[in-house]
Amino acid sequence: MAAALDTALLDQLTDLASRAAAAILAIAPSDRSPRLKADQSPVTAADEAADAVIAEGLSQLLPGLPVISEERCPDAPALAPDASFALVDPLDGTREFLAGRDEYTVNIALVSGGYPVAGVIAVPARSLIYRGIVGVGAERLRLKPGQGPANAREATPIRCRAAPRDGVIAAVSRSHLDTATMDFLAGFPRARQVAAGSSLKFCCVAEGSADIYPRLAPVYAWDAAAGHAVLAAAGGAVLTPQGTPLRYSGSTKAGLLIPAFIAWGDQTFVAGSRQGAG
């Protein structure tokens, strides 16, 4: 995986995420009525359209690479703990999509040895792409859904900002804010919360518009891996509440459930700031 991971591959993944974003936007409002999956989460024709684009694209781009997608999790292959694979959420933030908000995303991540090494996040309603390769860097593109990265109107390198002395900005879940997260944030005097749906919260920390994103309730790996990669490429870190690096492994849905994490921008901020994490 590492030898093949380069900017050309990132461009191809970007093109794939952009085409998936266009597939979402092509679904008429009258066709967006949700159905409930077995876990009671909503799914729409837009989720399925984006998933079909990504599944076909990855099979051609990276033949033989195992792919775990939220929409095809029951068919996920059995994987060794150190396997390389792709993690996909074709439409992250379905609730925001159905509510008419512009915060839903398309997530594509490449994982190797338990850690995300590259990620692409499309924000279809905002014509934005966030992307990065860990150890290389991250950037934000202004790109019309359906177009390739060569057509980007703007390409801006992004980097986590230095942590402020006070007045921390915390990205929090719009739909899943829980008591444990609120208790954690109580340890940061004058912290300001910015609510958003989907993996967009990782992007806020990566571009320096937020400092921290705590998620102290369970979440699935496909919701986090692409944002984890973009944030790490921008200089941040995603850790367990105990301060260890967050790993990704397992191929069953239960094995892909992450109990909790904290996404940090400025890593020098971490040591003295985990008092509320438990």
Question: CA-CA distance, 203 to 92, in Å (whole number)?
Answer: 13
Task: Report pLDDT digits (tens) over 120-143.
Answer: 999 999 999 999 999 999 999 999
154-158 sheet: strands from edge to edge: 67-69, 85-92, 105-112, 115-123, 128-133, 137-142, 154-158
Q: Encoding tokens for residue 55?
A: 């599944």
Domain extent at residue 249:
169-269
Where is the domain boundary, 124, 158, 192? 158
Assigned domain for 22 exists: yes
Q: What is the pTM of this model?
A: 0.93
Segment (H or E) for 171: strand 169-173
Residue finishing a domain among 111, 138, 158: 158
Length of the chain (residues):
278
Query: What pLDDT, on the 0 to 100 scale, is given for residue 72?
Result: 83
Tokens at 75, concatenated: 């068919």
pLDDT at position 272 is: 55
Q: Which three-class secondary structure state does DSSP give residue 263? A: strand
Last residue of a domain, one of 158, 180, 196: 158
Same domain assignment for residues 83 and 217: no
**Under 8 Å between Cβ of 45 and 27:** yes
Rg (CA), the chain: 17
Which secondary structure element, helix H or strand E, spans residue 92, and what is its range? strand 85-92
Percentage of the chain surpassing pLDDT 70?
91
Measure Cα distances from 255 to 55, 237, 250, 259, 274 in Å: 21, 22, 5, 10, 26
